Amino acid sequence: MRAPSFWYRPTDIRGALLSPLGSLYALATKRRVAQPAKTKTQAKTICIGNINAGGTGKTPTAIALIQQISERGNSVACLSRGYGGSLDGPILVTPQHTADQVGDEPLLLSAFAPTVVAKDRSAGAAFADTLGVDVILMDDGFQNPDVSKDASIVVVDAVKGFGNGRTIPAGPLREPVQAGLKRADLLLSIGPQPAQKTFEEQWGKTIHCPHVTGHLVPLQTGMVWTDLPVLAFAGIGHPEKFFATLKAVGADIKRAEALADHQPLTPALMARLEAEARALPAQLVTTEKDAVRLPDAFRSKVLALPVRLAFYDKTEINALLDRFGL
């Protein structure tokens, strides 16, 4: 499902008309987050969440934190509900699992750290704690009270910001910005410097927690993208960001197809894209996260452009880890 365009237009009358429903949604969230936690882990639990519905860059944030925590000599595991996966868990993700079973994000994260999938976050946290790690990174769950959080990092796309500032269905927010950031230990906005400046101008007065900025950069794999004709497709929160990254590395985008977030890459869909690419002609290219959902028959036919999160300044990230002796 695509986000309504009016969510990102503050003057659109539809947001105002739906604001009473948004207020009810916000009230329900307020009541939910006030519930006592069911599970407290021995490991430090850090939640990587968001206030916005949809993708904001949590997966690259998790990968960056895995690397940061590991470089400081600490062990880490990830915990996810496995959106789109069929297994209830709790279960430790292995290379034998598929995205249909555990979800695409856990399958990707499992390449960097032990990753537990569980529809029940309390059971998943308890299971992850048995791994004996120093840190559990909880992917999403900022508005879920079941697991006690030692710290919470809210991730936002600097380009989209908090949209029109209204809660669902009037806007893109799961809860009001001030209410959410009051519980956050850190706000991470992801985007290029011009977008960061605009984000700060628009939302800076509502930010009362440490604010870290970062941007996504293509991972150097030796692949030469310059002038390569491509048919790009992406089923992530904001596909246009991926297409912009491809363009920035020099690829010649013959066609770009934006899919719904986590959209299944069925054999029929891939056969159509393959036929269109052959007719252009162009090379099929997708995101690293989409690549784990590819049918086996197409894995050798599609290139992936991986990206990594680069912090403009790690001072506040290090300070957060220092606080827990990590």
Q: Are residues 300 and 316 in the same domain?
A: no
Above 80 in pLDDT, residue 185?
Answer: yes
Interatomic CA distance for residues 151 and 321, integer angstroms = 10
Sign for the CA dihedral angle at 141, 261, 171, 58 comes to positive
- Taking only the tens place, the pLDDT of each residue in 279-302 is 999 999 999 989 988 988 899 999
Which residues are annotated binding-site positions?
A: 52-59
Picking from 149-163, 193-207, 254-268, which range would have the lowest pLDDT averaged per residue? Answer: 254-268
The residue among 213, 215, 243, 216 whose CA lies nearest residue 231 is 243
Interatomic CA distance for residues 277 and 294, integer angstroms = 16
Asked if 119 contacts 89 with a C-beta cutoff of 8 angstroms, the reply is yes
Asked if 234 contacts 258 with a C-beta cutoff of 8 angstroms, the reply is yes
Please state at what angle helix 58-71 crosses helix 315-323, rounded to 10 degrees: 60
- Averaged pLDDT for residues 302-312: 93
Q: Are residues 240 and 112 in the same domain?
A: no
Q: Are residues 146 and 290 in the same domain?
A: no
Q: Are residues 120 and 194 in the same domain?
A: yes
Above 80 in pLDDT, residue 2?
Answer: no
- Averaged pLDDT for residues 53-63: 87
The answer to whether position 22 is within a domain reads: no
Q: Are residues 70 and 142 in the same domain?
A: yes
By DSSP bridging, strand 135-139 and strand 44-49 are parallel
Domain that holds residue 103: 33-216+310-323
The answer to whether position 223 is within a domain reads: no
The CB-side HSE value for 257 (13 A sphere, CA atoms) comes to: 17
The CATH number of residue 207's host domain is 3.40.50.300
pTM: predicted TM-score of the whole model, two decimal places: 0.89
The answer to whether position 167 is within a domain reads: yes
**Which DSSP letter does residue 224 get?**
-
Burial of 71 (0-12, 13-18, 19+ CB in 10 A): exposed
- Averaged pLDDT for residues 17-28: 94
- Averaged pLDDT for residues 123-133: 95
Q: Which residue has the tokens 């252009």?
A: 280
Which residues are annotated binding-site positions for ATP?
A: 52-59
96 φ, ψ to 5°? -80, -15
For residue 1, name the pLDDT band (cuts at 50, 70, 90): low
Q: Is 325 left (phi over 0), alpha (psi -120 to 50) or beta?
A: left
Q: Are residues 301 and 318 in the same domain?
A: no
With vertex at residue 234, the alpha carbon angle to CA 233 and CA 236, rounded to the nearest 5 degrees, is: 170
Interatomic CA distance for residues 110 and 95, integer angstroms = 8
Tally the domains of the chain.
2
The answer to whether position 278 is within a domain reads: yes
- Averaged pLDDT for residues 19-40: 93
Above 80 in pLDDT, residue 3?
Answer: no
Interatomic CA distance for residues 126 and 133, integer angstroms = 12
